[in-house]
Chain A
């Protein structure tokens, strides 16, 4: 970076032969425009080629051995599932109290011979924690329970102790159901889960405990699963001073509750545990009423902040579903891209290119048809979008916070579920699939660690690993340090000759005298950049205060937020703005680019997809930005192109606009109002998404600085540059 810039211009005569690496660095810095154009184009092309470069998945962990054993799930279990289903539907239609189904599940679990307890939880609104990302999970223990006692959900949990295990590990099955209003598909998923559970209570090969969590999704699936997990991992002591309120509330209700449940046996309100979780499967049955050839299975895997479960988990599910049960496996894709004409064109080009390379060398296998390419791109786009949003796509996301690999399996039948025969066949397939997956995981000796954690899926059986998708990103941000170094060194040599000009402005006091000498002049620019970033941090904290006022519409909140932000910015300008014009826009741009590249590389570690999307917006904006007045001095054609590019990028790069466009592209432009951004922001921070921090701590200051440079008054040496 600047290291190259420093030695980049060896003074003539002093050191005639500097080192090769220094000379190479100087060469790259001197040709920064060419290098950045080439890098950006190469990065974009490599990004478009990602679906081509995707590899087929493979089961990496040998211990898993998917499909090696014959399934034990038989028609007898299907009958049991059907029986359970009928009972639930009878109860559900008879009385809607919320505890009826829990009671039913409890009775059946006890009859099977497993352990049972009820977990009562209070739904809590997600709170805004900007610092939360770095703190450990244990601090979530101090969550405030301020909701009233009447609002609670009831999870029923059954545990099978493994006959061959030591009770140190467990596999978790989750079936969410709405206890207030249960539909047929939810009842079916409960029935399926129970039949598997009862089968597992009879088998002899279990080496890990099985935990079945029938999650009460009255207040959302995620809340139920998350609060259960929280209690599972953080033992709560009622004597704890912080929890007295909950304890009293709990004691009040528990007697009443147990009266309602009327389950015979020991006390069922004692929380029981079963070792560390090896994996978790969330499964549910959805009746989509779509006519398809085969029963289908949709996999959801994205957890918070773009974390994915180990690829092996998806691999075994896919392998068993496709090769054993004959299901059709789907993952989410962006539908608008599937019909896009330009993508088809690109696909054709890629296809032609593949043919061409095959002529050149038959070993190169860039063999992809246009349709495959389009489908792969649409799936990849959805994968990137949901990772970038940082919001989990289902209740499996709660597990990832505790380093447990989990996925959601959504089974949907081919025909309507009312037909008994179809239902039985469907249940048989689903049951065998889940049994096979559990049997595979049961074989695990260690945690999932063999396969990838960092990957994108372009199809259920194709993935792009981190080593491949980092290349476009690296190419995209490589120009940033180079251009920063070029600007910096250019300014260095310039500053020496114009030092006397620079001495006149009164901004530099005696205290900053050392800033006059060339090497430390960037401190002025760094001060400006630092101030803008400080402002951005303040702006990001404002919603926390605003959300204390509960009775405001999103639009009002958004307007207040914007007004406050602009006010603070103006105050910052009034206080510190006087110095900002003396450092020259090249230096300012150089420091801004350095800050942006640090931010982007940081974000690429935290959440790669956000960094990738952000880089596609920020990098051209940063590289192209120039003061408008300077652009006016160029030729007409160049001027027009530059101004249009700059203005477009300045509009598109504005964080709310960028966020809305990304959302619109992936989910369709529905009701796009002014308040939509507030709701979106609320969604992000309520899920502790690092994307929110990225948008406000890195993207927004970068945009403001770009705008600042666009409107920069070109005086003195800046115009000479």
Chain B
């Protein structure tokens, strides 16, 4: 739980580094003209042009130069025209972006601390706090904010005279507001982020989930199980600890606080009116709101500007026939919307993570992406550093990001300045970048062992099983874990869902379609000779734990903890690891070796239980 040593020193160093870059390289860094950094939407040079047009009593949108918000014009316009001799052209703006970056980092840190607290709380509820201590935990807030501040992409964006730092701040503000359940702040962040760059609109789902359900927690079926265990044991023991826990559990999962959501909607309405009012005042004599909508959102949605960027859309729409343009515009934009619903179902209990996934997906598929978007989702990714400690491909992704970010300017140089390359050279790096982002999203969301460990031991090995299936399974799961009953039920329900999952993710999704049973894990394990259930491979009597216990075999494996509900009732109630917890631990002990390949990996304390 301890924070990172020297956090403030490192933060100050990051700020100082930015200032140093700002002061030492007055002219050599032409970052603002790089297509990776400044897009037509975020370029500060275009903003200066729009401001100039507006000062000349013309519509800032005339001439297809500026496509941002009119509020930014009033906000940053003054700063763009002030010049200092011997400094970069947008010196004051860059200074402001340094401050904005700092605020974003602080908000990310606060969000991370909230996440950590909620994680501890849910572990306490599940009686797993020892497990938490066993695995070292980094403070995700400190870590993520440092990652955000020191990410080269963030630094480049900050220096590169683009307005993406402000967009990022608004998104982070929305998430922070929702995490700390401050409805006005969340609504403010969401409305402004949507107003500035449109794509954060889809963040309304995680924000409402955050406000309704609270922060990321293990899936609710664990709590359900816990509740049923606690009630069965608590009926006899009347332990204050258990009943308190169960009450807490009830509070944690069952309530969806409509009041908060209602507050949020109300505030969204207020802020929306406010933004529209301000915009219309700002554009009163020059154009109007309709032109603003056409030139900002219309510009984003119709992909008018085909100048190269790191995305994939410009190349496609430069090639596509005019007849099919509208069709493919719809296809590309629906692509993002298509992801929203299944991901929301799947990650309902982890709204913060859901927000990260949404941001990553939209920054991959948006019409004018820049490295600023990557900086944001990489920063948010670091919030889940504890959950992702076992992530696959981390090294591959790291090398890939470095390679692509170095190769992209070289290819651009080869195409534009040397003339020996062509557009395909540059587009190739864009494709590679998109692939990398896909791998990142898939690995963080769906990768086999990348889930927090409660996923590991509550879900079967195939992780593409969608959420409703678990729900069904948990409902039918009796206390002594008899998979036979379970397996009979859910296949008919799950089949369409599998189709959906296969369409969406296409990754190993054919496996569950052929055999949509949840208990794949039992297939290659030794069976109990008595009841046919899964048995421990090392049990000399080839029995499952319940049969072993019933027969009272002198078994080395199962005798350690002969668990059954009938015995555990008689145990003293002050033992933390009774009943539900013991069930979980047993299944944990069963499944962890499967995931790690070796039994020795279990933390020492777990083995002594």
A and B interact physically = yes
- Could you list which residues of chain A lie within 8 angstroms of chain B, going by C-beta atoms? 1-3, 5-7, 11-16, 19, 131, 133-137, 139, 142, 307, 403, 447, 453-454, 488, 493, 496-497, 499, 509-511, 513-514, 516-520, 522, 526, 590-591, 594, 598, 601-602, 605-606
17 contacts between A and B (CB under 8 A): A3-B439, A6-B396, A11-B597, A12-B597, A13-B524, A14-B448, A134-B409, A136-B30, A403-B418, A496-B598, A496-B601, A497-B600, A510-B5, A598-B402, A605-B410, A606-B410, A606-B414
Complex CA distance for A1 and B595, rounded to whole angstroms? 22
Complex CA distance for A594 and B594, rounded to whole angstroms? 30
Contacts of A519 in B (CB 8 A): 389-392, 394
Contacts of A16 in B (CB 8 A): 524
Contacts of A5 in B (CB 8 A): 396
Contacts of B5 in A (CB 8 A): 509-511
Interface residue ranges of B18-40 to A (CB < 8 Å): 27-28, 30, 33
* Given A11-B595, A136-B30, A606-B410: A453 touches B420 (CB 8 Å cut-off): yes
Complex CA distance for A526 and B420, rounded to whole angstroms? 34
B232 at the interface (CB under 8 A from A): no
Complex CA distance for A134 and B399, rounded to whole angstroms? 21
How would residues 426 to 443 of chain B score, 1 for a CB under 8 Å from any chain A CB and 0 otherwise? Answer: 000000000000010000
Complex CA distance for A497 and B398, rounded to whole angstroms? 25
Return the contact of B136 from the options A136, A307, A510, A522 (Cβ within 8 A): A510
B138 at the interface (CB under 8 A from A): yes
Contacts of B598 in A (CB 8 A): 496-497
CB distance from A596 to the nearest CB of B (A): 11
* Given A11-B597, A511-B5, A513-B136: A2 touches B418 (CB 8 Å cut-off): no
* Given A513-B137, A518-B390, A522-B395: A605 touches B403 (CB 8 Å cut-off): no
CB nearest neighbor in A for B411: A605
CB distance from A507 to the nearest CB of B (A): 14
Q: A14-B448, A496-B596, A499-B601 are in contact. List 5 more A-B contacts (CB 8 A).
A: A13-B525, A513-B138, A522-B395, A605-B410, A605-B425
CB distance from B371 to the nearest CB of A (A): 15
Return the contact of B389 from the options A135, A139, A453, A520 (Cβ within 8 A): A520
Complex CA distance for A513 and B399, rounded to whole angstroms? 22
Complex CA distance for A454 and B425, rounded to whole angstroms? 14
B399 touching A1 by the CB < 8 A rule?
yes
Contacts of B137 in A (CB 8 A): 513
CB nearest neighbor in B for A447: B419
Query: Which 8 residue pairs across A and B have the least CB separation, nearest first?
Result: A513-B136, A2-B396, A453-B420, A6-B392, A403-B419, A517-B389, A11-B597, A2-B395
CB nearest neighbor in A for B429: A605
B597 touching A510 by the CB < 8 A rule?
no
* Given A15-B461, A496-B597, A519-B390: A514 touches B395 (CB 8 Å cut-off): no
How would residues 98 to 124 of chain B score, 1 for a CB under 8 Å from any chain A CB and 0 otherwise? Answer: 000000000000000000000000000
B393 touching A598 by the CB < 8 A rule?
no
Contacts of A403 in B (CB 8 A): 417-419
Complex CA distance for A590 and B399, rounded to whole angstroms? 11
Per DSSP, chain A at the interface is helix
* Given A11-B594, A511-B5, A520-B389: A605 touches B414 (CB 8 Å cut-off): yes
* Given A16-B524, A496-B597, A605-B407: A514 touches B399 (CB 8 Å cut-off): no
B406 touching A598 by the CB < 8 A rule?
yes
B27 touching A514 by the CB < 8 A rule?
no
Contacts of A606 in B (CB 8 A): 410, 414
CB distance from A480 to the nearest CB of B (A): 11
Complex CA distance for A514 and B28, rounded to whole angstroms? 39
Contacts of B30 in A (CB 8 A): 135-136, 139
* Given A136-B30, A522-B394: A601 touches B403 (CB 8 Å cut-off): yes
Complex CA distance for A493 and B390, rounded to whole angstroms? 13
CB distance from B604 to the nearest CB of A (A): 8
B386 at the interface (CB under 8 A from A): yes
Interface residue ranges of B413-471 to A (CB < 8 Å): 413-414, 417-420, 425, 439, 448, 461
Complex CA distance for A452 and B399, rounded to whole angstroms? 32
A136 touching B410 by the CB < 8 A rule?
no
CB distance from A532 to the nearest CB of B (A): 15
CB nearest neighbor in A for B398: A526
A602 touching B393 by the CB < 8 A rule?
no
Contacts of A602 in B (CB 8 A): 403, 406-407, 410
* Given A136-B30, A598-B406, A605-B414: A516 touches B136 (CB 8 Å cut-off): yes
How would residues 574 to 600 of chain B score, 1 for a CB under 8 Å from any chain A CB and 0 otherwise? Answer: 000000000000000000001111101
CB distance from A685 to the nearest CB of B (A): 16
CB nearest neighbor in B for A17: B511
B385 at the interface (CB under 8 A from A): yes
CB distance from B462 to the nearest CB of A (A): 8
* Given A1-B396, A519-B389, A602-B406: A514 touches B136 (CB 8 Å cut-off): yes
Complex CA distance for A518 and B389, rounded to whole angstroms? 8
* Given A135-B30, A137-B417, A598-B402: A514 touches B385 (CB 8 Å cut-off): yes
CB nearest neighbor in A for B523: A16
B390 touching A517 by the CB < 8 A rule?
yes
CB nearest neighbor in A for B604: A500
CB distance from A497 to the nearest CB of B (A): 6
B2 at the interface (CB under 8 A from A): yes
Contacts of B395 in A (CB 8 A): 2, 488, 522, 590-591, 594
B399 touching A2 by the CB < 8 A rule?
yes
CB nearest neighbor in B for A512: B138
Interface residue ranges of B237-259 to A (CB < 8 Å): none
B594 touching A13 by the CB < 8 A rule?
yes
B396 touching A307 by the CB < 8 A rule?
no
How would residues 120 to 143 of chain B score, 1 for a CB under 8 Å from any chain A CB and 0 otherwise? Answer: 000000000000000111100000
Return the contact of B413 from the options A134, A526, A594 (Cβ within 8 A): A134
Contacts of A11 in B (CB 8 A): 594-597
B337 at the interface (CB under 8 A from A): no
B4 at the interface (CB under 8 A from A): yes
CB nearest neighbor in A for B4: A511
Contacts of A601 in B (CB 8 A): 403, 407
Return the contact of A135 from the options B28, B396, B414, B508 (Cβ within 8 A): B28
* Given A2-B395, A403-B418, A516-B136: A14 touches B410 (CB 8 Å cut-off): no
Contacts of B409 in A (CB 8 A): 134
CB nearest neighbor in A for B385: A514
CB distance from B167 to the nearest CB of A (A): 26
Return the contact of B417 from the options A12, A136, A497 (Cβ within 8 A): A136
CB distance from A713 to the nearest CB of B (A): 24
B420 touching A454 by the CB < 8 A rule?
yes
Interface residue ranges of B138-157 to A (CB < 8 Å): 138
Complex CA distance for A135 and B393, rounded to whole angstroms? 34
Complex CA distance for A6 and B394, rounded to whole angstroms? 9
Contacts of A517 in B (CB 8 A): 135, 389-390
Contacts of A488 in B (CB 8 A): 395
Return the contact of B394 from the options A1, A136, A520, A591 (Cβ within 8 A): A520
Complex CA distance for A606 and B597, rounded to whole angstroms? 44
CB distance from A540 to the nearest CB of B (A): 16
Contacts of B402 in A (CB 8 A): 598
CB distance from A297 to the nearest CB of B (A): 25
CB nearest neighbor in B for A308: B420
Contacts of A493 in B (CB 8 A): 597
Complex CA distance for A685 and B4, rounded to whole angstroms? 42
A7 touching B413 by the CB < 8 A rule?
no
Contacts of A516 in B (CB 8 A): 136
CB distance from A454 to the nearest CB of B (A): 6
Contacts of A135 in B (CB 8 A): 28, 30
CB distance from B350 to the nearest CB of A (A): 19
Contacts of A497 in B (CB 8 A): 598, 600
CB nearest neighbor in B for A403: B419
CB distance from B21 to the nearest CB of A (A): 13
Contacts of B419 in A (CB 8 A): 403, 447, 453
Q: Which of B395, B399, B601 has the most CB of A within 10 A?
A: B395
Contacts of B597 in A (CB 8 A): 11-12, 493, 496
